[in-house]
Amino acid sequence: MSRLPLMRRGLDAAIARRNGQTITAAEFIHQARWLAERLRREQHVINLCQDRHTFSLAFAGAILAHATTLLPANRLPDTIDALVNRYPGSLILSDQPIEGLYHRQLDPGEALEQTGQADRIPEIDESLLAAVVFTSGSTGPSSAVRKPWRTLHDSSLINAAEYGPREMTELVATVPPQHMWGLETSVLLPWFGPAIISSAQPFYAADIIALVERLPRPRALISTPVHLRNLAESGLDLPAMDRVYSATAPLGAQLAGQLERLTSAEVTEVFGCSEAGCLAWRQAADDEPWRLFKAFALDQHRDRFRVRADHLPEPVELLDHLEMLAEDRFRLAGRHADLVNIAGKRASLSELTQRLLDIRGVTDGVIFQPPASGDGRVTRLAALVVAPQLSERQIRQALSQRIDPAFMPRPLRRVPALPRAESGKLPQQSLVHFYRQVCEPAR
């Protein structure tokens, strides 16, 4: 039985900051072991902790207790109920009360009060099923992705080598740790590279700015295009940063360049998926091709690409259409489910959405293919746009200068906000429901 360490940091290394206090690896492991003793008989735990450090502690405690952590796409009661029904007897770990749910619950916060120092880094069975991650459902039904400890361990080393900081860096993240992007960067990266993560999860621009300003440099922000757009368009003075990391959706060269001018940071965009984790990166402001991580290889079968790596349990078929430029360089041409054909012309919905987002005054928006109507008629593209200072006529006029008339969305509706998940993604089910509320009655 092969075993791998829980982390690749020294015991005296600082890995987190919480409420003004610095937590070392030795303190963290001591607290995680204390929690593990209370989880020894558990098979599955559902980690809903909102404080990032408490989440990390609960995740490590479950690993040490040989339990599997279930990471749902969101904290909605229906989602958690469905998860408990799928995994009977699961224990919910949460640092906040969960209203309306009467399942088994435990607040792991008591572990934070335990004082002491671990004297060694624990070794973990590499085959342990450490986590089951549930996809966001942005392109269809949510699916379960199994993550053995070897996969998480090796992918963390790969991430640290490919895009992680080269010197001790303070990290702030806006993405929840339950999401794969948040798990890899804000939980595991400090376990395997020179990084210290803040326990907070700021959402509003003013909160992000206030938190970043309190941290010494070098400092970096881990975020998503939605959060970064709100930050750039806030009108507030942004603090200097050294790196900005973005994932979960296309960033866009215009926004990336704006962020680099406002923060003096190097903006790094990371590409990946829940099944394979992070696997490529690029400098988005220069609209560079994607650079595949050295540990991965791509092969093509017809119009589909598969990614392979030694640490993955099996090859992963990508949902994205790639335009290969070299063995390790490619461009994204949209997801297969994202491509539309109208009047003999093809386009990517994500590319059309990016053109919409490039309009000055548009703070959020999406162009998408609504579900077919009840009579079977094929529906036109639709757009939902957040643009407080623009009229729908002004948005249409600006968009007509950017896209082919065949893809002009009708209807196009202004809305106060889109039903995004905490990760910044738009779950398909939520989007369709919202569209029907906003657009269908107005037909």
Residue 342 has a pLDDT of 75
Give me the residues paired with residue 169 across strands: 195
d(CA 90, CA 49): 15
Per residue in 160-195, pLDDT (tens digit) is: 999 999 999 999 999 999 999 999 999 999 999 999
Residues 285 and 348 in one domain: no
Residue 269 has a pLDDT of 97
Q: Is residue 149 part of a domain?
A: yes
Domain-terminating residue out of 332, 367, 388: 332
**What's the domain count of the chain?**
2
Residues 77 and 213 in one domain: yes
Q: Which domain holds residue 394?
A: 343-442
Residues 299 and 362 in one domain: no
Distances (CA, A) of 174 to 3, 145, 194, 214, 246: 32, 23, 20, 16, 10
Domain-terminating residue out of 332, 351, 368: 332
- Find out whether the peptide bond into 371 is cis, omega within 30 degrees of 0: no
Residue 283 region by backbone torsions, left for phi larger than 0, else alpha for psi between -120 and 50, else beta: beta
Q: Is residue 46 part of a domain?
A: yes
| Longest alpha-carbon distance in the chain | 68
d(CA 240, CA 258): 13
**DSSP string computed for 168-214:** -EEEEE-S-TTSHHHIIIIIIHHHHSSEEEES----SHHHHHHHHHT
User: 88-97, 218-227, 398-407 — which is least confidently predicted?
Assistant: 398-407
Residues 301 and 381 in one domain: no
User: 102-111, 159-168, 202-211 — which is least confidently predicted?
Assistant: 102-111
Q: Is residue 337 part of a domain?
A: no
Per residue in 232-286, pLDDT (tens digit) is: 989 999 999 999 999 988 888 999 999 999 999 999 999 999 999 999 999 999 9
Per residue in 39-68, pLDDT (tens digit) is: 999 999 999 999 999 999 999 999 999 999
CATH number of the domain that residue 161 is part of: 3.40.50.12780
Query: Are 53 and 32 in contact, with CB atoms under 8 Å apart?
Result: no
Domain-terminating residue out of 280, 311, 332: 332
Residue 173 has a pLDDT of 97
Q: Is residue 434 part of a domain?
A: yes
Residues 269 and 409 in one domain: no
Residue 238 has a pLDDT of 97
CATH number of the domain that residue 363 is part of: 3.30.300.30
3-state class of 315 per DSSP? coil
What is the distance, to the nearest Å, from the Cα of residue 432 to the centroid of all Cα atoms in its chain? 21
* pLDDT interval class at 108 (50, 70, 90): very high
Q: Is residue 374 part of a domain?
A: yes
Task: Give strand ranges (E) for 9-63.
Answer: 14-18, 21-24, 44-47
Residues 349 and 200 in one domain: no
Residues 319 and 393 in one domain: no
Q: Is residue 219 part of a domain?
A: yes
Q: Which residue has the tokens 């866009």?
A: 252
Q: Is residue 338 part of a domain?
A: no
